[in-house]
Amino acid sequence: MAKLVSKTYGDALFEVAVEEDKVDALLEEAREVLAILEDNSDLSKLMTHPKIVKEEKMKIIEEIFSHRVSDEIVGLMRLVVQKDHFGEMNHVFEYFISTVKEYKHIGTAYVTSALDLTEKQKQDIEKKLLETTKYAEFEMHYRTDSALIGGLVIRIGDRVVDSSIRTKLNKLSSELSKLQLKVGECAS
Residue 72's pLDDT is what?
Answer: 96
Dihedral, CA atoms, 171, 173, 176, 180, nearest 10 degrees? -130
Per-residue model confidence as pLDDT tens digits over 98-141: 999 999 999 999 999 999 999 999 999 999 999 999 999 999 99
The distance from CA 172 to its chain's CA centroid, rounded to whole angstroms, is 33
Q: Give the global pTM.
A: 0.78
Closest CA to 2 of 92, 96, 97: 92
How does the average pLDDT of the chain come out, rounded?
91
**Euclidean distance between CA atoms 101 and 173, whole angstroms:** 40
Using a pLDDT cut of 70, give the percent of the chain over it: 94
